[in-house]
Chain A
């Protein structure tokens, strides 16, 4: 019954834990896009232009887990310090340059867009059908990479001017460029 001590070296037992410790999530990359969009869009709404800060607003739950805060810390766009704001309701969006509609608002997206669509803010989300519902930039994950689509018609309604560089990178652009929509 008793196994001899000699059998100690019968085998080597390996346990390998493979960790995805440092792998970035789609939200990390989305946060970086949000930070970048400010450089490629020109606003004409008074709220955003008169605000002393460049506000990136999140409607609903913040999915970025601190990444956005890290990216915008001590940074400026158009000479204004960038600030993150969490909105509980659409009425709080005054002064926002970008409004990111979080996944937590999936059920209210239509109502949210109907309220915000003409306020001059850049509406961004990763929710499916966001562009069709009236959004301006929608994140899509294609082959494990985060890309974005642009709807020029809704951007024009909010008098946003999008850089051609932004449109060049977009994986899909819907709507037709109107006078002053693209620079």
Chain B
């Protein structure tokens, strides 16, 4: 049995916005001119990806991985707080981040980009029960059913990793 190559899984959650977040209620104090200058997410376009400083770090240890029984990377991602991973087809996965919209106070799926990266090393591997978790992989999933909780938001999730 191949042993887990890495003992340390460091998971960093980054807030991503093209500009500082604004609460809908803050809109009230804005003038017509200011409203016209707010950058918004729309149905037709996906939000820009901007990397900011980490907001939270989740660490998953080898022991965590063993206990979880995860045999695939999506299953590992499922261990992240708030992340929901569901299988669409045998080789297709859907990633969503569940949070509460401050204005509505209801659980909501939110757009999520997941990026996995590690230093290049030919011998580096993460494996469980003899199966490598580092399959060459690139997957992008776009969901259209943004009406999950009656809030019209397009879901966008992408997961990219290259061993």
Name which residue of chain A comes closest to B147, CB basis.
A61
Q: Do A25 and B99 contact each other (CB < 8 Å), given the known contacts A11-B121, A14-B116, A65-B152?
A: no
Residue among A8, A9, A15 with max Cβ neighbours from chain B (10 Å): A15
Interface size class of B (residues with CB under 8 A): 35 or more
Taken residue by residue from 89 to 106, chain B's Cβ proximity to chain A (1 for < 8 Å, 0 otherwise) reads as 000000001010111100
Interface residues of B in 1-19 (CB under 8 A from A): 1-18
Taken residue by residue from 41 to 58, chain B's Cβ proximity to chain A (1 for < 8 Å, 0 otherwise) reads as 111110101111010000
Asked if A169 lies at the interface with its beta carbon under 8 angstroms from chain B, I say: yes
Asked if B22 lies at the interface with its beta carbon under 8 angstroms from chain A, I say: yes
Residues in A neighbouring B4, C-beta threshold 8 A: 3
B15–A14 CB distance below 8 A: no
A23–B17 CB distance below 8 A: yes
Asked if B162 lies at the interface with its beta carbon under 8 angstroms from chain A, I say: no
Interface of A is mostly: mixed
User: What is the number of contacts between chain A and chain B, taking CB atoms within 8 Å?
Assistant: 209
- Of A14, A19, A24, A141, the residue contacting B110 (CB under 8 A) is A19
List 16 additional contacts besides A17-B112, A24-B27; criterion CB under 8 Å.
Answer: A11-B119, A13-B8, A13-B118, A15-B80, A16-B115, A19-B99, A22-B17, A22-B21, A22-B23, A24-B40, A26-B40, A29-B40, A70-B24, A144-B40, A147-B36, A169-B32
B interface list, Cβ under 8 A from A:
1-18, 21-25, 27-28, 30-33, 35-45, 47, 49-52, 54, 62, 77, 80, 83, 97, 99, 101-104, 110-119, 121, 123-126, 150-153, 156
Can you offer 13 A-B residue contacts whose CB atoms are under 8 A? A8-B5, A8-B7, A12-B119, A13-B6, A23-B21, A23-B111, A26-B41, A27-B152, A29-B40, A32-B35, A33-B32, A65-B152, A141-B40
